[in-house]
């Protein structure tokens, strides 16, 4: 079937050399690592750790973070192999096109557009909320009408517009600002960890693994799909609580995949992409575990405030001023997350437009800046309007399901491409393939089942819309389909674009 036609790795790489679509190669391993840390570490490090400890795992939440990191590392290795083999913009979209076929590539590209648009909008609103808290603590409160929850969230709009301009100016300029903000964020996180160590009471770690107990059961469309299908009663604490905590905090690691969207702008992608992806995940794991260890040592897990655990842990010890430091860290942290998600969204759309699955005119790059300037403007305007005018936070879980579906297809794609193109040069290889990639896909599918029924229903609606667009426009206009009879793949004695 023509919808399953694959785009060869050679052709994907050749497309990056076309002058009208050529991006500037200026990123190194350090840039990619900072980029990854910038998108993964957000305000959640100050809130999610305490909430997960209070609700499901107790002090053993540290173990939960390690378990989640191991699960996430499986997907990270799959991304590293693909990014070093196919150093082209588009991340999971491009990887799926090379291994699973055009229809799967379209599905995952469509999902990633949703993930990054919604993610950037949700985080921009969160940034506005933390900015309001920080200014309130500094004695200069924002007018309610223009801040978070106001008639128009003007602060979220301004943030997106400023970052959009920066993104359009160039990837190098974006990375410089990202470097400064990540440095500020890491300084504040490390300061919080060191300051919190002084208030640790070893008695708070006992019991390290609290006795198992039933969790509050959600009902109707708000319950996890797995609970809806199996009728199983969810448990908290105990050994089961450690794994429940891992499923909860896994989403704190989501974001490293955005690093792969910049593969085409990396100087030495075969070496640097695996380093950037895996190093950023390792750094984030250490920080998450350290914060979890500190917060559960400062206050007993059953007395933690799920809403603002770390800030209230310092207040518990008479250090209310630390809440201002934490708010400043959250503002810096969320700024980098919005920037990296905006960049990721533009690179996904750029790759799809270059393949003519979306209008090809969008993919033209600026003659001097070498950025997809038109896409950057469109993404900036849409995200700014959504963040400023809509209560998009209720769709937050859509980001998770879109990301996990990409993880599943990338994991499967590694196995497929190993079999169909064993000759390709791979800068990094997932060990013990196909076992680890298959395990990665299974873990991600299990986590998808832990998302709510209403999230799945919204996801299916989004997929239906995507299928309609694909068969009405993208399939007929696909560059691969139109060139099937004229493009020859030098690596194989056959015509690219036909079934493979």
Residue 95 belongs to domain with CATH number: 1.20.1740.10
* CA distances from residue 243 to 210, 216, 283, 428, 471 in whole angstroms, order as listed: 13, 17, 22, 29, 41
pLDDT of 493 reads: 37
Q: At what angle do helices 44-52 and 269-298 cross, to 10 degrees?
A: 50
pLDDT of residue 485: 44
Tell me if residue 213 falls in helix, strand or coil.
Answer: strand
- Domain residues for the domain of 123 are 2-482
Who contacts 240 (Cβ-Cβ below 8 Å, separation ≥6)?
212
Domain-located, residue 490 = no
Q: Is residue 489 part of a domain?
A: no
Beta strands in 237-306 (DSSP E): none
- Residue 500 located in a structural domain: no
Q: Give me the number of domains the chain comprises.
A: 1
- Is the previous residue joined to 202 through a cis bond, with omega within 30 degrees of 0? no
Q: How far apart are CA 276 and CA 284, in angstroms?
A: 12
Tokens of 364: 């033209």
DSSP assignment, residue 306? S
Q: Taken in order 83, 260, 73, 28, is the CA torsion positive or negative?
A: positive
Of 289, 363, 313, nearest in space to 16 by CA: 363
Give the phi and the psi of residue 488 in degrees, each rounded to 5: -110, 130
Residue 241 falls inside a structural domain? yes
pTM of the model: 0.89
Asked if residue 499 belongs to a domain, the reply is: no
User: Residue 273 and residue 193: Cα distance in Å, rounded?
Assistant: 29
* Cα angle for residues 450, 453, 455 (degrees, 5° grid): 85
**CB contact at 8 A, 424 and 417:** yes
DSSP per residue over 337-395, as a string? HHHHHHHHHHHHHHHHHHTTSS-GGGGPPPTTT-S-HHHHHHHHHHHHHHHHHS-GGGG
Residue given tokens 């603590």 in the structure block: 137
Q: Are 76 and 431 in contact (CB under 8 A)?
A: no
Angle ∠(235,238,242) on CA atoms, nearest 5 = 85
Distance, in Å, from the CA atom of 23 to the CA atom of 56, rounded to the nearest integer, reads 46
- Ordered alpha helix ranges (H), 100-236: 102-137, 154-169, 171-197, 225-230
Token couple for 153? 């969230």
Q: Which of 288, 335, 379 is nearest to 179 (CA)?
A: 335
Reading the chain (500 residues) residue by residue, the pLDDT tens digits are 588 899 999 999 888 888 777 888 889 999 999 999 998 998 778 888 888 999 889 999 999 999 999 999 999 999 999 999 998 888 889 999 999 999 999 999 999 998 899 999 999 999 998 999 899 888 888 888 888 888 899 999 999 999 999 999 888 888 888 899 999 999 999 999 999 999 999 999 999 999 888 877 677 788 888 888 887 777 789 988 898 889 888 888 888 888 888 889 999 999 999 999 999 999 999 999 999 999 999 999 999 988 788 888 998 999 989 989 999 999 998 999 999 999 999 999 999 999 999 999 898 888 888 889 999 999 999 999 999 998 887 778 888 888 899 999 999 999 999 999 999 889 899 999 999 999 999 999 998 888 889 999 999 999 999 999 999 999 999 998 876 544 434 344 333 333 33
Q: What tokens does 259 get?
A: 């690093």
Q: Look at residue 325 and tell me if it is in a domain.
A: yes
Residue at 491 is within a domain? no
pLDDT of residue 484: 58
Q: Is residue 487 part of a domain?
A: no
């Amino acid at each position: 079937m023509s919808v399953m036609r694959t785009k060869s790795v050679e052709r994907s790489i050749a497309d990056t050399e076309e002058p009208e679509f050529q991006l500037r190669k200026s990123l190194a391993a350090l840039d990619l690592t900072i980029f990854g840390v910038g998108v993964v570490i957000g305000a959640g490090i100050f809130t999610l750790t305490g909430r997960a400890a209070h609700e499901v795992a107790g002090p053993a939440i540290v173990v939960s973070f390690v378990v989640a990191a191991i699960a996430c590392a499986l997907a990270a290795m799959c991304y590293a192999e693909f990014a070093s083999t196919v150093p082209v913009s588009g991340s999971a979209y491009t990887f799926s096109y090379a291994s699973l076929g055009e229809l799967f590539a379209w599905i995952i590209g469509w999902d990633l557009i949703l993930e990054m648009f919604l993610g950037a909008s949700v985080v921009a609103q969160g940034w506005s909320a933390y900015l309001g808290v920080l200014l309130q603590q500094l004695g200069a409160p924002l007018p309610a009408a223009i801040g978070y929850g106001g008639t128009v969230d003007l602060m979220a709009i301004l943030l997106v517009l400023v970052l959009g301009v920066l993104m359009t100016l160039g990837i190098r300029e974006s990375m410089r600002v990202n470097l400064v903000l990540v440095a500020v964020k890491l300084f504040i996180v490390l300061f919080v960890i060191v300051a919190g160590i002084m208030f640790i009471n070893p008695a708070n770690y006992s019991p390290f693994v609290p006795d198992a107990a039933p969790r509050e059961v959600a009902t109707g469309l708000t319950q996890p799909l797995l609970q809806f299908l199996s009728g199983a009663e969810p448990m908290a604490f105990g050994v089961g609580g450690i794994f429940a905590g891992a499923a909860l905090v896994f989403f704190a690691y989501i974001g490293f995949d955005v690093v792969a969207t910049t593969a085409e702008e990396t100087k030495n992608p075969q070496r640097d992409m695996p380093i950037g992806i895996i190093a950023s995940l390792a750094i984030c794991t250490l920080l998450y575990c350290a914060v979890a260890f500190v917060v559960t040592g400062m206050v007993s897990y059953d007395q933690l405030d799920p809403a603002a655990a770390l800030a209230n842990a310092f207040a518990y010890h008479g250090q209310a001023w630390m809440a201002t430091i934490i708010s400043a860290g959250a503002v810096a942290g969320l700024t980098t997350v919005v920037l990296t998600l905006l960049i990721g969204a533009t690179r996904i759309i750029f790759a799809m437009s270059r393949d003519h699955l979306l209008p090809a005119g969008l993919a033209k790059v600026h003659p001097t800046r070498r950025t997809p300037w038109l896409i950057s403007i469109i993404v900036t305007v849409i995200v700014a309007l959504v963040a400023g005018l809509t209560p998009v936070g209720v769709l937050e879980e859509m980001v998770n399901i879109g990301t996990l579906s990409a993880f599943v297809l990338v994991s499967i794609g590694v196995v497929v491409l190993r079999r169909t193109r064993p000759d390709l040069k791979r800068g990094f290889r997932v060990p013990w393939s196909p076992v680890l990639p298959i395990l990665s896909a299974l873990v991600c599918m299990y986590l998808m089942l832990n998302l709510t029924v209403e999230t799945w229903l919204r996801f299916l609606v989004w997929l239906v819309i995507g299928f309609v667009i694909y068969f009405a426009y993208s399939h007929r206009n696909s560059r691969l389909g139109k060139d099937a009879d004229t493009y020859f793949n030098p690596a194989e004695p056959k015509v690219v674009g036909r079934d493979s």
